[in-house]
Amino acid sequence: MNHQDIYHVKLAPIPDGEKRPLWSVIIPTYNCAKYLGETLASVLAQDPGPDFMQILVVDDHSTIDNPQAIVEDLGQGRVEFYRQPQNVGNTKNYATGLLLSRGKIIHLLHGDDCVLNGFYSKMQKAFEEAPEIGAAFCRHIFMDEHSHWLHLSPLEQLESGILNNWLERIATIQIIQTPSIAVRREVYESIGGFDQRLRFTEDWEMWTRVAAHYPIWYEVEPLALYRQRPASLTQISQNNADIIRQTYEAIDIFQSYLPEEIICKARKKNAIYFLDKSSFLFKLGARKSATLQIYTLLEYYNSFIFSILVNLALLRGYIGLIFQKLPKIAENIWVDSSPSKYTESN
């Protein structure tokens, strides 16, 4: 057994001859019941019936609301509900949903996200037209806490179909939001579920691992809604520092199945991305938050040149100017890092 397998839930195949639906829509929830009704309504509006679609809400032991009441009220017996006996975290909650799934195609839909009419029919068509694909995803729409639409995700190609050179694209930056993607159950059976070592970047690692083993279909029509909820500067700062750590831990995990050329590009692209975010925080006046993020980045990207630049900026009081120019400097004088601290300690 590959040592990586101990971190991935392994799904047993559904026995031959057992009646099963085409779809399993798994809806993980945790303290988001106020949005769950909207999520369920978006699925039930496209419900082809229990013979074709399993709908299951998996609650991670919510403490401030009652998602079961929402399920019973809207689902009227149509929607299954499972509550964790204790809080297990989002990655293990996903694993529970995968283990309880029966459909041939699995769609993970967070309890505060939605799908638009046509999502399931378009995805089904993709899997029928290209039986070799492991997953299909669509363009998505970002929305706020009031369900107001904000902006679209980038267009990955002009026409729907199998993506070319997709592995390098997804391995170097996270661009798929979970409500927009559906995956064959047999893919999870073959390569395992979400990596249990990750808490913020488990989805990115999963979609990259799928792309490393299977062709991926892209639907150009935006059919999924991803909700962005506001956070304080303190929360943003701490979350971003944790996300930086988890991003580089995910990249270290990539080394077990991706070539070194892509690994180096992933380190570089994400460093530039996080430098941009640090610059943005500084412009907001959050100097301590920006400093925390930049030092966290340097902890995982051990580049001598960047370390000198940032420390000189902090010592001489020119942090704002340097932060604003660092992303451009990064592209011009990049020196690839040695393996990260995470890799060396594992």
Tell me the mean pLDDT in the region 269-273: 86
Please report the sign of the dihedral spanned by the C-alpha atoms of residue 145, residue 150, residue 154, residue 160. positive
**Cross-strand partners of 181:** 137
Percent residues over pLDDT 90 in the chain: 70
Closest alpha carbon to 100 in 75, 88, 82? 82
Q: What mean pLDDT comes out for the span 72-80?
A: 97
pLDDT tens, position by position, 20-74: 999 999 999 999 999 999 999 999 999 999 999 999 999 999 999 999 999 999 9
Which pLDDT does position 345 carry in this prediction?
Answer: 38
Query: What's the pTM?
Result: 0.88
User: Is pLDDT above 60 for 1?
Assistant: no
How much is the average pLDDT of 327-338? 54
Which of 192, 188, 255, 189 has the alpha carbon at shortest distance from 5?
Answer: 192
DSSP string, 155-208: P--SSSEEPSSHHHHHHHS----GGGEEEEHHHHHHH-SSBTT-SSSHHHHHHH
Residue 331 has pLDDT above 70, yes or no: no
CA distance 153 to 139: 6
Tell which wins on pLDDT, 205 or 238.
Answer: 205
Residue 316: what pLDDT? 45
- Check residue 329 and give its pLDDT: 57
Q: How confident is the model at residue 308 (pLDDT cuts 50, 70, 90)?
A: low
Contact yes or no for 176/170 (Cβ under 8 A)? yes
Three-state SS for 11? Answer: coil
pLDDT at 288: 77
Q: With 90 as the cut, is the pLDDT of residue 318 above it?
A: no
326 has a pLDDT exceeding 80:
no
Rounded-to-integer distance, Cα 123 and Cα 130, Å: 11
Residue 334 banded pLDDT, cuts 50, 70, 90: low
User: Which carries the bigger pLDDT value, residue 288 or residue 33?
Assistant: 33
Mean pLDDT of 187-194: 98
- Flag whether pLDDT at 327 surpasses 70: no
Per-residue pLDDT, 235: 52
pLDDT for 312: 55
**pLDDT tens digits, 114-158:** 999 999 999 999 999 999 999 999 999 999 999 999 999 999 999
Backbone angles phi, psi at 150, to 5 degrees: -105, -60
